[in-house]
Chain A
Amino acid sequence: MASNPSAGDSPDRIETLRAKIAAELPNVDFVLGYGRGFDPLHATPVTVRTEKDLDRLIFDPTCVQNLATSLYGLRGKRLGVVVKGCDSRSIVQLLQERLWERENLVVFGLPCEGVLDLAKLRVTMDIAEVKAVRFAGSVRDGTVVLTLPGGERELPSAGLLADKCLRCQYPNPLVSDHLIGPEIEPQGAEDTYADLAALEKLSTQERFDFWKRQMGRCIRCYACRNACPLCVCKHVCLADSREPHWLSAEATLQEKWLFQVMHALHLAGRCTECGECQRSCPMGIPILLLKRMMNRELKELFNYQAGVSLEAVPPLHTFLMEEDRIKDRGLLW
């Protein structure tokens, strides 16, 4: 494939990133970073082993993947990883849960203004026709200029950024060995859980019908599970277990739904809302809603947000005799 023009790398920053990685290469097995995918809208994770791989590195709003997802499968190695602010929260959580050792990780942190949600673009056009992409003005308030067969089309970028970016409070990596580029003021709006409120306005039957329709598209590919940086059971997942036999092999609504409930429950107090589950779903099922629902509960019950502090203990990893926000109704044994 011909190399594709990139969307809006800052030349200085990418050079700094390459130089920092080059300096660390002798200390790591390899570095996980972003390269250009098969077209200008797609980035793809790349492994940098030697200096000749450095040219492949890019960083721009198409770098949607959370590279922390690959870490658990590569434990035992000493790795470098390129992270955005949101991705760094997954690393914090992995370290908190001792799923990775800090000393075996070199983090290259990139403050990030936001990434594209290709699903939003796909609703309005055939994205396979996009020949080139550039950003005019800032990532948040500027425009995205797409080159299409019929000419250029300019769209406000705010409408194309991922929802998580619009409410992002952590644009700067929370853990990093090399912070590359100036830190950014958080520009995200306060998270009012408006998406959940809209869903909860529906009657129980309407909500049930909504989920039946959504889950009807599920093909049980488990991209949602495998793209999750904290879903570390992978191939020993209870969704695949025959003994005990929690889920059958049937592609029925109840099996699909049961898996999503399991996934959400197992991520309670752990999910950082990186959104990889929903982004990876080829059928566009809004499964992040379920995790957000759990997170809202966790926030209310334990005043806890996952992946923002290395020192914090996730609430379901410990217990307190008396929780601040949970009334024990004064009952005595």
Chain B
Amino acid sequence: MVDRFLKDSDLAVVTAAWARDFRVLAPVREGAAIVYRLFSEDMHPFLLRPPTSSAKEAILPQTENLFTYKYRKDQTDLTRTEVFLAEALPPEPTLILGPRPCDARGRHLLDRVFLERGVVDPQYKAHRAATLFVTVACTSMQNTCFCHWTGGALDDESGSDVLLHPVTIGGVGGYVAHAVTPAGEKLLANLPEAPAEKLAELAARRAATPEPEPAPDLAGIADAFLAVFDDLDFWTDQSARCLSCGVCTYLCPTCSCFNITDENHGMSGRRLRTWDTCMSALYTLEGSGHNPRISRAHRLRNRVGHKFSYHPREFPEAATAPSGCEFSCTGCGRCIKSCPVAVDIRQIVLDVLAKAAEKAPDKAGGAK
């Protein structure tokens, strides 16, 4: 597959061409936020910084209509009610422009939950099959980024259909467009081949990109977490600032929890699947009134534990998966960057390792 060249000035035109075949979601700047909007011809996609929200919404929409239902009274016997179901329409072919490699890798983690755990989720499967990722490679790490802790990299291709490498040094700015999948190659068919000097620029920039600060050794984190699980003082201190809002979970490319509700309007309604957040007390509120996660300490502990302990324990083969995703986290850093009180999951992970080492100096490994 030859690499193609997409001029920055052609971006809107090329996107418009894609929009003839796909529902295109493209990032735009709105004040301080960068959000995905349905592409329209008057829009110029903004690809220079990672979007505020993750690309998850393209394959796991915040609101998913599972089916609609209608009750009808039997006019000859009013004690009888019939129910009619209508399944939801299949998703439109979708293209999401502007995710980052950490978003694209998130697809593997959602796949594990919705496709690979014995039960195949038909809605997710349909979205997944209908959606292409045109990803923008990163050129540097932001101070909230830690993809390399989780096996990712600035220009990781995994999970993308096309990877756009920005080349902006001298001459015409744009992207070296690299097709990762056959569907991605089809998208690029009408673009010119990347000129040799652009490829040289790209190679030079990639060679000159500084190595990130080495990632800590997280080999022992799954067990270290369990070792500090019962230390509620530790978790209380970690979570005292937490507001228990849903910013971290809703912006996360891998958080997959959902709620299912029937939204009634008289004799008809819709069964919906909507995002849910484990940071909310309602998430574990049981019908009896009992709540096993009564405090923010319990809830924040669950989020960290799920990402770095329960997930790797549930998918032990994940450590050697081709995607390289061992944890249920791709290190995008959105939960850090957008947290109103600057909770830093990296620091919590390091504190867990240190605390576990303190508790059992011989057993806990990994803490630096």
Contacts and interface: CB of A to CB of B under 8 A. Distances in A.
A213 B277 CA distance: 25
A220 B145 CA distance: 25
A249 B243 contact: no
Chain A interface size band reads: 35 or more
Given A128-B142, A251-B62, A280-B245, A45 B261 contact: no
B360 to A, nearest CB: 23
Nearest to B343: A44
B344 A38 contact: yes
Interface in A117-139: 118-120, 122-123, 126, 128-130
A223 B246 contact: yes
Contacts of B2: none
B269 to A, nearest CB: 9
A223 B248 CA distance: 10
B227 interface: no
B53 interface: yes
Contacts of A222: 245-246, 280
B280 A45 contact: no
Contacts of B285: 235
Nearest to A39: B143
A43 B241 CA distance: 11
Nearest to A131: B143
Contact of B340 (A32, A216, A227, A252): A227
Contact of A282 (B33, B275, B342): B33
B340 A126 contact: no
A130 B35 CA distance: 22
B246 A220 contact: yes
Interface in A223-260: 223, 225-227, 234-235, 240, 242, 245, 248-252
A70 interface: yes
Interface string B23-53: 0000000111101010000000000010011
Given A1-B344, A221-B246, A240-B282, A70 B241 contact: yes
A326 B338 CA distance: 44
B110 to A, nearest CB: 17
B307 interface: no
A49 to B, nearest CB: 8
B244 A283 contact: no
A282 B30 contact: no
Contacts of B250: 219-221
Interface in A242-293: 242, 245, 248-252, 276, 279-280, 282-284
A297 to B, nearest CB: 26
A1 B346 contact: yes
A248 B338 contact: no
Given A221-B245, A227-B243, A250-B263, A126 B49 contact: yes
Contacts of A279: 340
Contact of B35 (A43, A47, A240, A283): A283
Interface string B273-288: 0110100111001000
Contact of A37 (B52, B245, B296, B344): B344
Nearest to A124: B32
Given A251-B63, A252-B63, A123 B31 contact: yes
A240 to B, nearest CB: 6
Contacts of A43: 342
Contacts of B244: 226, 234-235
Nearest to A118: B32
Nearest to B276: A249
Contact of A126 (B142, B261, B346): B142
B231 interface: no
B139 to A, nearest CB: 11
A71 B141 CA distance: 36
A120 B350 CA distance: 32
B346 A283 contact: no
A240 B280 CA distance: 10
Given A44-B241, A47-B237, A251-B62, A283 B52 contact: yes
A6 interface: no
Nearest to B265: A248
Given A47-B240, A221-B247, A284-B30, A250 B63 contact: yes
A217 B63 contact: no
Given A44-B343, A70-B240, A280-B340, A129 B247 contact: no
B342 A128 contact: no
A57 interface: no
A271 to B, nearest CB: 17
B142 A129 contact: yes
B336 interface: yes
B142 A42 contact: no
Given A128-B142, A226-B245, A220 B240 contact: no
B245 A217 contact: no
Nearest to B344: A38
Interface of A: 1, 32, 37-39, 42-47, 49, 65, 69-70, 73, 118-120, 122-123, 126, 128-130, 149, 213, 216-217, 219-223, 225-227, 234-235, 240, 242, 245, 248-252, 276, 279-280, 282-284
20 contacts: A32-B240, A38-B346, A38-B347, A39-B143, A47-B241, A120-B32, A217-B33, A219-B250, A220-B246, A223-B247, A226-B245, A248-B263, A251-B275, A276-B340, A280-B245, A283-B33, A283-B35, A283-B53, A284-B30, A284-B32
Leading 4 A-B pairs by shortest Cβ distance: A128-B142, A37-B342, A280-B340, A221-B246
Given A223-B247, A227-B243, 17 more contacts: A37-B342, A43-B342, A46-B241, A65-B340, A119-B31, A128-B144, A128-B145, A219-B250, A220-B275, A223-B243, A240-B282, A248-B263, A249-B63, A250-B63, A251-B275, A282-B338, A283-B30
